Amino acid sequence: MPADIQAALAWLTRISLPLAALDDVGVISRALDACSRKLDGSAASAEYYRRRRRVLYAALKHAVRSGHLSANPLDGPVAADWKAPAVTLVVDRRRVPNPAQMRKLLSSIRQVGRTQGPRLVALYGCMYYGMLRPSEAVSLHLDDCQLPATGWGLIEFSQIRSAAGRERTDDGEVHEARVPKGGPKNAVRRVPVPPELVTLLRKHIAAHGAGPDGLLFRTYRGGIYQPSTLWQVLQKARPLAFTAAQVSSPLARRPYDFRHAGISWRLNAGIPGPRVAEWAGHSVEILYRVYAHCLDGDDPRWYRWMEQTLD
């Protein structure tokens, strides 16, 4: 065993509590308190707490299955009485660009750099017009796309490659293959896409082609785009598309906001929620809780509808 691993295990042995300590209600309370705080002692966000508590619960559940614990302490009265931070799942509507703002932003992305922006504009279009997550967009293959000369197209995919990091994959690669989020094994996600995205993808294929394996979006060296690259290009494009006030606001600050905008656009267009949830790879509950009615600049339409009913 490598010396650094031996040292790490010795440290864990030295500082760890025995499982019997979990019978102490004070230990459970301190564990939950730790989940709710960052390393510097300040309060963590509600979403951060929820993720850490979920990992702790899974570890204790494994101990129960392995016969080391008779029951999960987090199912007990102490954990039930411990008040967790409220989790806010609703998307901040200030982040979500409307269709006019999105058109300007996509045009500005094309202007970033001599070749970098033009190679990425269709990828950002997939996140908006196709509601794809960034990891899904960078994994898109030519065979996943049906792109007719006119009209709507279709994207179908069953596998994506997400950036997990070399230290977290079995083969030492940065990206790992997995099924789309929220989908069962061997499931195929079908996303109808408007003519705007069909045109973007056809132009991208004509200009840049696809890789030997059919991958549509590739770096100069033929690799998969990193999340940091997408973020950097977006930060360069925002000042070209937005006013100074909008640049300083949260509007379209993250690549994931393109997906938020695409889902919100469909919902506010009147598409039934179950259909949008299916296309987006969400449950209907999460869809309405997180995305509904967060389209920036769409209030005048609702005002007109309400005024018409008053008249």
Task: Report the amino acid identity of residue 233.
Answer: V
% of the chain with per-residue pLDDT over 90? 43
- Shared domain for 224 and 111, answered yes or no, is yes
- pLDDT confidence of residue 64: 92
Of 81, 102, 136, the last residue of a domain is: 81
Domain final residue, candidates 81, 101, 121: 81
- Within a domain: 264: yes
Report yes or no on 129 lying in a domain: yes
In a domain, 184, yes or no: yes
More confident residue, 156 or 292: 156
Average pLDDT over residues 133-137: 90
Residue 41 has pLDDT above 90, yes or no: no
Least confident of 200-209, 231-240, 266-275: 266-275
Greater model confidence, 78 or 228: 228
> How distant, in Å, are the alpha carbons of 124, 222, 279 from that of 134?
8, 18, 15
Find residue 141's DSSP bridge partners. Answer: 215
Q: Are residues 262 and 159 in the same domain?
A: yes
Q: Do 185 and 46 share a domain, yes or no?
A: no
| Range in 65-69, 268-272, 291-295, 306-310 the model is least confident about | 291-295
Confidence of residue 166 (pLDDT cuts 50, 70, 90): low
CA 73 to chain centre: 31
Mean pLDDT of the chain: 84
> Could you tell me if residue 88 is inside a domain?
no
Q: What is the pLDDT of residue 86?
A: 60
Question: Do 107 and 170 share a domain, yes or no?
Answer: yes
Residue 50: the pLDDT is 85
Q: Is residue 308 part of a domain?
A: no
The model's confidence at residue 84, banded by pLDDT at 50, 70 and 90, is: low
Q: 25 and 151: one domain? A: no
pLDDT of residue 43: 82
Q: Are residues 105 and 75 in the same domain?
A: no
Domain count for the chain: 2
Query: Which of 74-83, 165-174, 260-269, 280-289 has the least mean pLDDT?
Result: 165-174
Indicate if the pLDDT at residue 158 is higher than 80.
no
> Is the pLDDT reported for residue 89 higher than 70?
no
Asked whether residue 162 is domain-assigned, the answer is yes
Write out the residue range of the structural domain in which residue 208 sits.
Answer: 93-300
Rg (CA), the chain: 23
Q: Are residues 30 and 57 in the same domain?
A: yes
Question: Do 167 and 107 meet the contact criterion of CB atoms below 8 Å apart?
Answer: no
Residues 271-295 have a mean pLDDT of 79
310 assigned to some structural domain: no
Q: What is the pLDDT of residue 167?
A: 54
pLDDT over 70 percentage in the chain = 83
| Same-domain check for residues 76 and 142 | no
Domain assignment of residue 246, yes or no: yes
- CA nearest neighbour of 214 among 140, 157, 162: 140
pLDDT above 90: residue 247:
yes
Q: Are residues 147 and 233 in the same domain?
A: yes
Beta carbons within 8 Å of 234's beta carbon, 6+ residues apart = 109, 124, 252, 253, 254, 255
Q: Are 74 and 28 in contact (CB under 8 A)?
A: yes
Rounded CA separation 243/247 (Å)? 6
Domain boundary among 34, 54, 81: 81
Q: Judge if 225 and 201 occupy the same domain.
A: yes
- Among 79-88, 192-201, 233-242, which stretch is predicted with the lowest mean pLDDT? 79-88
| Maximum pairwise Cα distance, the chain | 80
Mean pLDDT score, 205-228? 88
Angle in degrees, CA 238, 244, 250, rounded to 5: 60
Tokens 């932003």 identify what position? 105
- Same domain flag for 74 and 213: no
> Which has more confidence, 205 or 298?
205
Q: How do 189-193 and 160-163 pair as beta strands?
A: unpaired
pLDDT tens digits for 59-81?
999 999 999 888 898 887 766 67
Closest CA to 159 of 134, 176, 171, 173: 176
Which range has highest mean pLDDT (5-9, 33-37, 226-230)? Answer: 5-9
Among 32-41, 123-132, 302-311, the minimum mean pLDDT is found in 302-311
State mean pLDDT over 244-256.
Answer: 93
Q: What is the pTM of this model?
A: 0.69
CATH code at 232?
1.10.443.10
Q: What is the pLDDT of residue 62?
A: 94
Q: What is the DSSP string of the chain?
A: --HHHHHHHHHHHHHPPPGGGGGSHHHHHHHHHHHTB-TTSSBPPHHHHHHHHHHHHHHHHHHHHTTS-SS-GGGSHHHHHSPPPPP--S--GGG---HHHHHHHHHHHTTSTTTHHHHHHHHHHHHHHS---HHHHTT-BGGGEE--SSS-EEEEES-EEEE--GGGSTTS-SEEEEPPTT--TT--EEEEE-HHHHHHHHHHHHHH---TT-BSS--TTS-PPPHHHHHHHHHHHHHHHS-HHHHHSSTT-STHHHHHHHHHHHHHTT--HHHHHHHHT--HHHHHHHTTT--TT-HHHHHHHHHHHH-
Q: Could you tell me if 74 and 119 lie in one domain? A: no
